Amino acid sequence: MLSFIIYYIAHHPIVKMKMLEEIDNIFQGDTIRPITKDDFYNLKYCEAIVKEVARIFPIMYSNIRYIDEPKEIAGYQWPAGITFLANIKAIHNKDDYWEEPNKFNPDRWMDENFEPKKDSFIMFGTGLRLCPGRKLAMIE
Protein backbone atom coordinates (compact mmCIF):
# COMPACT_ATOMS: atom_id res chain seq x y z
CA MET A 1 0.00 0.00 0.00
CA LEU A 2 2.86 2.36 0.81
CA SER A 3 4.13 2.11 -2.77
CA PHE A 4 0.71 3.19 -4.09
CA ILE A 5 0.61 6.10 -1.64
CA ILE A 6 4.05 7.25 -2.77
CA TYR A 7 3.03 6.82 -6.43
CA TYR A 8 -0.08 8.99 -6.06
CA ILE A 9 1.70 11.66 -4.03
CA ALA A 10 4.47 11.81 -6.65
CA HIS A 11 1.97 12.11 -9.51
CA HIS A 12 -0.26 14.70 -7.83
CA PRO A 13 1.84 17.73 -6.81
CA ILE A 14 -1.13 19.62 -5.32
CA VAL A 15 -1.89 16.66 -3.04
CA LYS A 16 1.78 16.53 -2.05
CA MET A 17 1.77 20.26 -1.31
CA LYS A 18 -1.35 19.98 0.88
CA MET A 19 0.09 16.98 2.71
CA LEU A 20 3.40 18.73 3.44
CA GLU A 21 1.58 21.87 4.51
CA GLU A 22 -0.48 19.87 7.01
CA ILE A 23 2.64 18.13 8.35
CA ASP A 24 4.49 21.47 8.66
CA ASN A 25 1.52 23.05 10.49
CA ILE A 26 1.38 20.23 13.01
CA PHE A 27 5.09 19.68 13.63
CA GLN A 28 6.20 23.31 13.17
CA GLY A 29 9.52 22.22 11.67
CA ASP A 30 10.47 20.14 14.72
CA THR A 31 11.77 17.00 13.02
CA ILE A 32 12.91 15.19 16.16
CA ARG A 33 10.00 15.47 18.58
CA PRO A 34 8.05 12.28 19.19
CA ILE A 35 4.71 11.92 17.42
CA THR A 36 1.79 12.10 19.83
CA LYS A 37 -1.68 10.61 19.73
CA ASP A 38 -3.07 14.09 19.04
CA ASP A 39 -0.76 14.39 16.03
CA PHE A 40 -2.36 11.30 14.50
CA TYR A 41 -5.84 12.72 15.04
CA ASN A 42 -4.82 16.02 13.46
CA LEU A 43 -3.26 14.54 10.30
CA LYS A 44 -6.64 14.58 8.54
CA TYR A 45 -5.31 15.11 5.02
CA CYS A 46 -2.74 12.35 5.42
CA GLU A 47 -5.56 10.06 6.55
CA ALA A 48 -7.61 11.14 3.52
CA ILE A 49 -4.74 10.17 1.21
CA VAL A 50 -4.50 6.71 2.81
CA LYS A 51 -8.28 6.19 2.54
CA GLU A 52 -8.37 7.32 -1.07
CA VAL A 53 -5.51 5.02 -2.06
CA ALA A 54 -7.23 2.15 -0.20
CA ARG A 55 -10.43 2.94 -2.10
CA ILE A 56 -8.66 2.78 -5.46
CA PHE A 57 -6.39 -0.17 -4.56
CA PRO A 58 -8.06 -2.13 -1.77
CA ILE A 59 -5.79 -4.40 0.23
CA MET A 60 -8.30 -7.20 -0.32
CA TYR A 61 -9.96 -7.16 -3.75
CA SER A 62 -12.67 -9.55 -2.62
CA ASN A 63 -14.18 -10.94 0.54
CA ILE A 64 -15.74 -14.37 1.02
CA ARG A 65 -18.81 -15.06 3.14
CA TYR A 66 -20.45 -18.43 3.77
CA ILE A 67 -23.96 -19.07 5.10
CA ASP A 68 -24.60 -22.22 7.07
CA GLU A 69 -28.38 -21.89 7.18
CA PRO A 70 -30.98 -20.69 4.64
CA LYS A 71 -31.29 -16.89 4.53
CA GLU A 72 -32.94 -14.11 2.60
CA ILE A 73 -30.34 -11.71 1.25
CA ALA A 74 -31.10 -8.84 -1.13
CA GLY A 75 -34.64 -10.14 -1.63
CA TYR A 76 -33.54 -13.65 -2.63
CA GLN A 77 -33.82 -16.91 -0.71
CA TRP A 78 -30.47 -18.67 -0.46
CA PRO A 79 -29.97 -22.26 0.70
CA ALA A 80 -27.45 -23.24 3.37
CA GLY A 81 -23.93 -23.90 2.16
CA ILE A 82 -23.74 -20.98 -0.28
CA THR A 83 -20.50 -19.02 -0.55
CA PHE A 84 -20.66 -15.35 -1.54
CA LEU A 85 -17.81 -13.37 -2.98
CA ALA A 86 -17.98 -9.60 -2.50
CA ASN A 87 -15.96 -7.75 -5.14
CA ILE A 88 -14.54 -4.92 -3.05
CA LYS A 89 -12.66 -3.35 -5.96
CA ALA A 90 -15.93 -3.07 -7.91
CA ILE A 91 -17.76 -1.59 -4.91
CA HIS A 92 -15.02 1.02 -4.41
CA ASN A 93 -15.29 2.06 -8.08
CA LYS A 94 -19.07 2.08 -8.49
CA ASP A 95 -20.61 5.27 -9.91
CA ASP A 96 -23.66 4.81 -7.68
CA TYR A 97 -21.50 5.22 -4.58
CA TRP A 98 -18.68 7.53 -5.60
CA GLU A 99 -18.49 10.76 -7.56
CA GLU A 100 -15.81 10.31 -10.23
CA PRO A 101 -14.75 6.92 -8.84
CA ASN A 102 -11.76 6.55 -11.19
CA LYS A 103 -10.25 9.86 -10.10
CA PHE A 104 -7.73 10.07 -7.24
CA ASN A 105 -9.28 12.70 -5.00
CA PRO A 106 -8.35 12.68 -1.30
CA ASP A 107 -10.29 15.94 -0.90
CA ARG A 108 -13.54 13.94 -1.06
CA TRP A 109 -12.71 12.73 2.47
CA MET A 110 -12.14 16.27 3.81
CA ASP A 111 -15.75 17.45 3.57
CA GLU A 112 -17.20 17.36 7.10
CA ASN A 113 -20.53 16.17 5.70
CA PHE A 114 -19.02 13.40 3.60
CA GLU A 115 -19.84 9.89 4.72
CA PRO A 116 -19.51 7.00 2.29
CA LYS A 117 -22.77 5.18 1.62
CA LYS A 118 -23.27 2.16 3.87
CA ASP A 119 -20.90 -0.66 2.93
CA SER A 120 -19.43 1.29 -0.01
CA PHE A 121 -15.99 1.65 1.62
CA ILE A 122 -14.65 -1.63 2.93
CA MET A 123 -11.07 -0.85 3.89
CA PHE A 124 -11.24 -2.94 7.06
CA GLY A 125 -14.36 -5.02 6.50
CA THR A 126 -17.88 -4.24 7.69
CA GLY A 127 -20.38 -5.15 10.36
CA LEU A 128 -19.48 -7.79 12.92
CA ARG A 129 -16.29 -8.63 11.06
CA LEU A 130 -14.87 -5.10 11.15
CA CYS A 131 -11.13 -5.40 11.77
CA PRO A 132 -10.35 -4.80 15.45
CA GLY A 133 -6.83 -3.62 14.50
CA ARG A 134 -7.97 -0.92 12.06
CA LYS A 135 -6.81 1.98 14.27
CA LEU A 136 -3.35 0.45 14.66
CA ALA A 137 -3.17 -0.22 10.92
CA MET A 138 -3.91 3.44 10.14
CA ILE A 139 -1.14 4.53 12.51
CA GLU A 140 1.32 2.21 10.82
The percent of the chain in helix, strand and coil, each rounded to the nearest 5, is 45, 10, 45
Dihedral pair phi/psi, residue 86, rounded to 5°:
-90, 125
pLDDT of 29 > 90? The answer is no
The pTM of the full predicted model, rounded to 2 decimals, is 0.84
Pairing verdict, β 62-66 and 83-87: antiparallel
Q: Please write down the HEC assignment for all residues of 35-48.
A: CCHHHHHHCHHHHH
In this structure, are residues 8 and 14 in contact, taking their beta carbons and an 8 Å threshold?
no
- Amino acid identity at 3: S
Span 67-94, average pLDDT: 92
Q: State the pLDDT confidence band at 114, using cuts at 50, 70 and 90.
A: confident
Residue 83 belongs to some domain of the structure: no
Residue 120 lies in a domain: yes
Kindly state whether residue 129 falls inside one of the protein's structural domains: yes
How much is the average pLDDT of 61-86? 91
Q: Is 89 inside any structural domain?
A: no
**What's the whole-number average pLDDT of the chain?**
89
Please check whether residue 74 lies inside any domain of the structure.
Answer: no
User: Does residue 71 form part of some domain?
Assistant: no
Question: Per-residue confidence at 102, pLDDT binned at 50, 70, 90?
Answer: very high
**Please, which pLDDT band fits residue 73 given cuts at 50, 70 and 90?**
confident
Q: Give the model's confidence band at 100: pLDDT under 50 very low, under 70 low, under 90 confident, else very high.
A: very high
Range of the domain at 103: 2-59+99-139
Is a pLDDT exceeding 80 seen at residue 91?
yes
46 annotated ligand binder: no
111 vs 51: CA distance, rounded Å: 14
Tell me: pLDDT of 138 over 80: no
**Domain tally for the chain?**
1
How many helices (H) and strands (E) the chain has is answered by: 6, 4
* Structural domain contains residue 29: yes
